[in-house]
C-alpha cells in the first residue's frame, strides 16, 4: 500500500499471483500426465468421457494460469483512493471510478463461506450498469439484484487485509462528505 498526501494506492498482490500460477501449473502437469495414461488405455475401453474431462481441465487450468500471469504483470494499481473518489481496477468493477458524492453508504457482507465483501451503495446504480456490457454487466446486474448495489470490494487479490480496506474506506467516506455510512 502506497500512501502520499490524499492518495492511497493498494496494489495487486504479486505473491498471490505467483502462488496461483504455481498451483495451476502443478495441476496442469497432473492433468497432462493423466491424459497420457488415458490415451494409452486398452482400445476396447471407451475413452471419450475421460478425454472430454481432461480437455476441459486443461482449458480451465490454462485460463487460470493466464489469469495469474495477467495479475503478475499488471501495471495498474488494484484500488486508488483519493480526495475525488475511488478507482477500482479489480474484479467485475474493474475500470470504474466512483466519486465520493455518488456514494451513499458502506456495508460489510459476510457470507457463511467465502471472502468478506465491502458493499458500496451508490445514488444511481443504473448509470453504472449502462456503462458496462457483456459478462461484466451481467455480474454487476446480479450483484445489484442480490445486494442492492452493483459495487463491491474484497481484499482477496490486494496487498492488504479486509479490515484495513474497510477502515480506509470508512475514514475516507467520512472525510470527503457522503451522506452516511451504514
Q: What is the pLDDT of residues 121-172, one digit of tens each?
A: 999 898 888 888 899 899 999 999 999 999 999 888 888 899 999 999 999 8
Band (29; pLDDT cuts 50, 70, 90): very high
pTM for the model:
0.78
Band (95; pLDDT cuts 50, 70, 90): confident
Domain ranges of the chain: 14-73, 79-175
Q: Residue 93 burial (CB < 10 Å; 0-12/13-18/19+)? A: buried
The DSSP bridge partners found for residue 34 are: none
CA distance 21 to 13: 13
CA distance 13 to 149: 26
Band (62; pLDDT cuts 50, 70, 90): very high
Amino acid at each position: 500500500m502506497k500512501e502520499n498526501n490524499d492518495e492511497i494506492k493498494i496494489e495487486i498482490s504479486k505473491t498471490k499471483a505467483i502462488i496461483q500460477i504455481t498451483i495451476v501449473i502443478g495441476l496442469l502437469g497432473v492433468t497432462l500426465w493423466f491424459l497420457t495414461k488415458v490415451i494409452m488405455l486398452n482400445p476396447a475401453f471407451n475413452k471419450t468421457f475421460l478425454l472430454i474431462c481432461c480437455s476441459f481441465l486443461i482449458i480451465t487450468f490454462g485460463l487460470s494460469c493466464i489469469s495469474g500471469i495477467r495479475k503478475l504483470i499488471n501495471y495498474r494499481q488494484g484500488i486508488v483512493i483519493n480526495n475525488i473518489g475511488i478507482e477500482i481496477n479489480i474484479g467485475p468493477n474493474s475500470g470504474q471510478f466512483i466519486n465520493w458524492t455518488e456514494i451513499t453508504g458502506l456495508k460489510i457482507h459476510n457470507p457463511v463461506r467465502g471472502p468478506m465483501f465491502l458493499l458500496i451503495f451508490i445514488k444511481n446504480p443504473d448509470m453504472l450498469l449502462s456503462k458496462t456490457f457483456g459478462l461484466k454487466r451481467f455480474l454487476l446486474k446480479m450483484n445489484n439484484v442480490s445486494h442492492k448495489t452493483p459495487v463491491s470490494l474484497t481484499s482477496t487479490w490486494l496487498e492488504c487485509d479486509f479490515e484495513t480496506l474497510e477502515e480506509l474506506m470508512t475514514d475516507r467516506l467520512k472525510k470527503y462528505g457522503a451522506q452516511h455510512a451504514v
